[in-house]
Amino acid sequence: MSTPNRRRRSRDEEESHPDERWMASYMDMVTVLMCMFIVLFAMSTVDQAKFEQLKASLATGFGQVESNTVDTAKGVVVPPAMVEDEEILDPDADQAMLAAMEVQDLTELRDRLQHGLEDKGLQDDVRFEIDERGLTIRLVSSEMFFEPDLSDLTPQALDVLNVIGPILQPTSYDLSVEGHTAQVRQFTDSALDWELSSSRSVNVLRYLMESGGIDYSRIKAVGYGESRPLTAGGTAAELAQNRRVDIVVLSGQSEAVRQLMPGVVNGEIVFPAEPSAPGAGEDAGQEILPASNH
């Protein structure tokens, strides 16, 4: 008789103490939902300034807004309406200013080289030219720097390079040593024009590195043979001008800036000058960059 009573008590205990393991899963689900809503709430709080920048950037990218000003620090195109009390610089004006500064630096370098050569009485054997490539130091007296049909440097050539090397060594410009020959083809057992021009440029490069202290990573040698003459004539004087070695101080500016450098050299580029003192002349509002005719 005790067995039915025991079964009845077991059922009562099960009904009064149900299985509560499902609550663990339920609490986990509620926790996940709470985290999701917190994240959604955080995402719904928008930084208005950043939103406006993103909006302007997307609008410009899809062609709806034209803008020439780019915030390169953050990669966001900034429309004029967002710029407060700041001057938007014209890219052309910036490039002209960089070109003017580059020409000024190269002009100062040219003047130092010229003064050094004048002190040694060697100024008549070197020519200077500033163009879109940079500063060209032209060794024009071929008989002075090399014997005919030879690539060995003469003592006079070493004197010139002893002046040029120490002045170029502390600069940060890259250098290109370019050899040229006259417009006379020689089909003999001796070296052809391009071989002779290359050998001469290499000898100049080697001396600038070994005696001038110029790092090898900044300098290169090129041989052009007779392909780039200065003059098209065939007289002795004209051929002498074509037999030359050029040491080109290469500008490190962008191509757009370098294309403006000849205009700066010729005085064709005019840009606003800095504010001048009261009582200045009529031309105080603009500055014409100095030209170099050397």
pLDDT digit string (tens) for 57-66? 666 655 554 5
The mean pLDDT of the chain is 76
Judged against a pLDDT cut of 70, whether residue 52 lies above it is answered with yes
pLDDT, average across residues 50-78: 57
Q: Give bridge partners of residue 177 from the DSSP assignment.
A: 221, 247
Predicted local distance difference test score (pLDDT) of residue 274: 44
Q: Domains of the chain, with CATH numbers?
A: 11-82 (no CATH), 93-272 (3.30.1330.60)
Residue 9: band (very low, low, confident or very high) from pLDDT cuts 50, 70, 90: low
Q: Which residues contact 76 (CB under 8 A, 6 or more apart)?
A: 53, 54, 56, 57, 70
The pTM score is 0.60
* 83, β-bridge pairs: none
In angstroms, rounded to a whole number, what is the distance separating the alpha carbons of residues 3 and 223? Answer: 115
Q: Does position 222 have pLDDT exceeding 50, yes or no?
A: yes
DSSP output for 4-50: HHHHHHHHHHHHHS---THHHHHHHHHHHHHHHHHHHHHHH---HHH
Confidence at residue 197, expressed as pLDDT on a 0 to 100 scale: 86
Higher pLDDT among residues 8 and 32, named by residue: 32
In this predicted structure, the answer to whether residue 51 has a pLDDT above a threshold of 50 is yes
Are 208 and 220 spatial neighbours (Cβ–Cβ below 8 Å)? no
pLDDT at 261 over 80: yes
pLDDT surpassing 70 at residue 255? yes
The answer on pLDDT for 221 being more than 80 is yes
Contacts of 88 (CB under 8 A, 6+ apart): 68, 69, 80
| 174 or 142, greater pLDDT | 174
pLDDT higher for 136 or 270? 136
Angle at 34 between CA 32 and CA 35, to 5 degrees: 65
pLDDT of 83 higher than 50: no
> 219-223 and 174-180 as β-strands: parallel, antiparallel, unpaired?
parallel
Pick from 72-86, 109-123, 175-189, 221-235: least confident: 72-86
- Whether residue 277 is predicted with pLDDT greater than 50 in this model: the reply is no
CB atoms within 10 A of CB 250: 17
